[in-house]
Chains A and B, each alone.
Chain A
Amino acid sequence: MPASKDIKGIIRHVAEIIIEELKLEDVTVDTFSPELDLIDELGIDSMDLATIALVLQDEYKIVIDEDDYPQLKTVRLIAEYIEGKLSTES
Chain B
Amino acid sequence: MITISTLLDKEWHERYKRIANLNIRSSIYDVTNRCNLRCQGCFFFSSGEHEVASEEMDIKKWENFIDREKARGVNLAILIGGEPTLCLDRVEAFYQRLPTYCATNGLIKVDRARFPGMMVGISLWGGGEDEKILRGRDTFAISSANYAGDPYTYYLYTITPKQLGNIDAIIRKIADVGLKVHLQLLSNDEGVDGFSWKEGELADLRHEMDEVLDKYPQTVISSKYYHEIITSGQMLGRKFGWRECPSVTEALDTRSPQPKRLIHFARWASDLKTVHRCCTSATRDCSTCKDGAAHMSWIMVNKRAHIRTTRDLQNWIEVYEMFAKLYRLIPW
Interface residues of A (CB under 8 A from B): 22, 24, 26-27, 31-32, 36, 39-48, 50, 66, 70
| Bound CA–CA A45/B23 (angstroms) | 8
Q: Which residues of A contact B304 (CB under 8 A)?
A: 22, 43-45, 48
The residue in chain A whose Cβ has the minimal distance to the Cβ of B304 is A43
Chain B residues touching A, range: 10 to 19
Question: Binding site of A, secondary structure by majority: helix, strand, loop or mixed?
Answer: loop
Contact A39 to B20, CB < 8 A, known contacts A27-B1, A48-B304: yes
| Bound CA–CA A46/B17 (angstroms) | 15
| Bound CA–CA A27/B5 (angstroms) | 15
The residue in chain A whose Cβ has the minimal distance to the Cβ of B17 is A40
Q: Which residues of A contact B4 (CB under 8 A)?
A: 40-43
| Bound CA–CA A79/B73 (angstroms) | 25
What's the minimum C-beta distance from A27 to chain B, rounded to whole angstroms?
Answer: 4
Q: Is the CB of B5 within 8 A of A41?
A: yes
Give per-residue flags for B291-326: 1 if the beta carbon is below 8 A from chain A beta carbons, else 0: 000000000010110010000010000000000000
The one of B2, B73, B313 in contact with A66, judged by C-beta atoms closer than 8 angstroms, is B73
Let me know if B206 is at the binding interface, CB within 8 A. no
- A-B CB contacts (within 8 Å), total count: 41
Q: Which residues of A contact B17 (CB under 8 A)?
A: 40
User: What 4 pairs between A and B have smallest CB-CB spacing?
Assistant: A41-B3, A27-B1, A43-B307, A26-B1
What's the minimum C-beta distance from B247 to chain A, rounded to whole angstroms?
Answer: 14
Q: Is the CB of A50 within 8 A of B263?
A: yes
Let me know if B267 is at the binding interface, CB within 8 A. no
Q: Is the CB of B301 within 8 A of A45?
A: yes
Q: Which residues of A contact B263 (CB under 8 A)?
A: 46-47, 50
Give per-residue flags for B11-28: 1 if the beta carbon is below 8 A from chain A beta carbons, else 0: 000001100110100000
Q: Which residues of A contact B21 (CB under 8 A)?
A: 39, 70
Q: Which residues of B contact A43 (CB under 8 A)?
A: 3-4, 20, 303-304, 307, 313
What's the minimum C-beta distance from B173 to chain A, rounded to whole angstroms?
Answer: 38
